[in-house]
Amino acid sequence: MLAMNYRGPYRVRVDHKPMPEIQHPRDAIVQVTRACICGSDLHLYHGMVPDTRVGSTFGHEFIGIVREVGTAVENLKVGDKVLVPFNIACGQCVFCRQGLFANCHESNSMSTAVGGIFGYSHIAGGFDGGQAEYVRVPYADVGPTVIPEGMNDEDALLLTDVLPTGYQAAEMGGIKTGDTVVVFGAGPVGIMAARCAWLFGAGRVIVIDHLEYRLEFVKKYAPCEAYNFKSMDDPVVFIKRMTDWLGADVCIDAVGSDACGNAMQTITGKKLLLQAGSATALHWAINSVKKGGIVSIVGVYGPTDNLVPIGNVVNKGITVRANQTSVKRLLPRLIEHIQNGILSPKDIITHRFALEDIAEAYHIFSSKLDACIKPVLVP
């Protein structure tokens, strides 16, 4: 079969790989019909995630058709069209039983922090992902969910990660009616977080990024206020000024590690300059939230990002909440929102590529070329 093959930082291609096989009675084999590239994949692509091994296949956002099931999988049958949450979760451990599927204790023997994730290096279990024609799905009786009759495939695709992640970002923010919510990052995750903030009763939603095309998009899609940090002397002062000098009620970090320093290069020469890997958006979030406010982090960080202004967290009495998303927990209510027309995640998809064109797809998404917001691969 054809599958993405990681060759080292900034080097990906498609190669023939052996067909995946059932290795455990709870496995299934899924033929992938659509897979996304995620901002999280860019951390792998940029070489930021430790133990990302050459030869591995990325891809944790995919849908497809069940082609084979292990003897213990009773809720799926061959031919079912499924969406597969990015978390690999046993469904039975102490964490899964609380709905913390992202923190499953059984699916990832490499780490006591994160549970297993498809195609996300050996720190997330070393599983191959779905940027391929076929993928092995462990614990197939837990995550995979049959796509509801009548649901658009690409809406279902975005239920595997970015919509639930944006929703969880807003949920962790503990948004109360009338709150001012600032979202850092207008990528797919930030766009979804801004859209979902309204569902929790936000009174005002402000998005900060530096890519004009994304700011224009989120302004209409969320809809919200959106500002370019390149045109500010200091984003923290900018937000304070907009909030009677109190700060925002809730700040959401939908940026994460900026290992390549893209954002920073754009403000070189101004006093804001911070080093790549210095968690700029998180600094801004902590410093611009009001005293007693909540900072919700869904951005993913690597080992180079350990500099956090912890003093301000203490002195301002801020609550910081963070996690990978437990997709399965959120599916029922998000499926309902899509079916009722309240959410339409597929509208953020801007690009579709053949799997064979994966190198071009990564390059365009990583470099933010061609007004790319969310790219989809079609095997």
Q: For binding to Zn ion (CB under 5 A), which residues are involved?
A: 38, 40, 61, 161
Contacts of 190 (CB under 8 A, 6+ apart): 166, 183, 184, 207, 209, 218, 252, 254, 255
CA–CA dist 374, 38 (Å, integer):
8
Contacts of 206 (CB under 8 A, 6+ apart): 180, 181, 182, 183, 224, 225, 226, 227, 239, 242, 248
CB of 39 to Zn ion, least distance (A): 7
CB of 161 to Zn ion, least distance (A): 4
Please tell me whether residue 280 binds ligand NAD under the rule CB under 6 A. Answer: yes
Find, among 109, 127, 132, the residue nearest to 117 by Cα: 127
Binding segment for ligand NAD (CB under 6 A), chosen from 66-74, 122-130, 293-301, 335-343, is 293-301
Query: Contacting ligand NAD (CB under 6 A), which of 142, 206, 289, 298?
Result: 298
Could you give phi then psi for residue 12, rounded to 5 degrees? -130, 150
* Size of the chain in residues: 379
Please tell me whether residue 299 binds ligand NAD under the rule CB under 6 A. Answer: yes
Name which of 73 and 255 has its Cβ closer to ligand NAD. 255
Give the other-Cβ count within 10 Å of 220's Cβ: 10
83 binds, among Zn ion, ligand NAD, none (CB under 5 to 8 A by kind): none
Q: Which of residues 61-90 bind ligand NAD (CB under 6 A)?
A: none
CB of 329 to ligand NAD, least distance (A): 12
Give the other-Cβ count within 10 Å of 80's Cβ: 18
Enter the DSSP assignment of 201. T
CB of 234 to Zn ion, least distance (A): 31
Query: Contacting ligand NAD (CB under 6 A), which of 38, 147, 224, 335?
Result: 38
Please tell me whether residue 277 binds ligand NAD under the rule CB under 6 A. Answer: no
Enter the DSSP assignment of 20. P
Query: Contacting ligand NAD (CB under 6 A), which of 59, 130, 190, 375?
Result: 190
Please tell me whether residue 188 binds ligand NAD under the rule CB under 6 A. Answer: yes
Question: Taking CB under 6 A as the rule, which mask of x and - marks residues 221-260 in contact with ligand NAD?
Answer: --------x------------------------xxx-x--
Name which of 282 and 355 has its Cβ closer to ligand NAD. 282
Please tell me whether residue 59 binds ligand NAD under the rule CB under 6 A. Answer: no
Name which of 41 and 80 has its Cβ closer to ligand NAD. 41
CB of 21 to ligand NAD, least distance (A): 28
Name which of 141 and 161 has its Cβ closer to Zn ion. 161
Please tell me whether residue 285 binds ligand NAD under the rule CB under 6 A. Answer: no
CB of 215 to Zn ion, least distance (A): 22
Residue burial 129-140, b: 16+ Cβ < 10 Å; e: rest = bbbbbbbbbbbb
Question: Quick one: tokens of 241?
Answer: 């000024």
CA–CA dist 321, 242 (Å, integer):
24
Alpha-carbon Rg for the chain in angstroms: 20
CA–CA dist 302, 137 (Å, integer):
26
Enter the DSSP assignment of 194. H
CB of 157 to Zn ion, least distance (A): 11
Q: Which residue is nearest to Zn ion (CB)?
A: 38
Please tell me whether residue 163 binds ligand NAD under the rule CB under 6 A. Answer: no
Question: Taking CB under 6 A as the rule, which mask of x and - marks residues 309-328 in contact with ligand NAD?
Answer: ---------------xx---
Query: Contacting ligand NAD (CB under 6 A), which of 6, 101, 139, 184?
Result: 184
Residues binding ligand NAD: what is the number (CB under 6 A)? 33
Q: Residue 346 in 3-state DSSP?
A: helix
Question: Quick one: tokens of 25?
Answer: 């009675």
CB contact at 8 A, 347 and 158: no
Find, among 275, 316, 318, the residue nearest to 295 by Cα: 318
CB contact at 8 A, 175 and 202: yes
Which residues form the interface with ligand NAD (CB under 6 A)?
38-40, 42-43, 161-162, 165, 184-190, 208-211, 214, 229, 254-256, 258, 263, 280-281, 298-300, 324-325
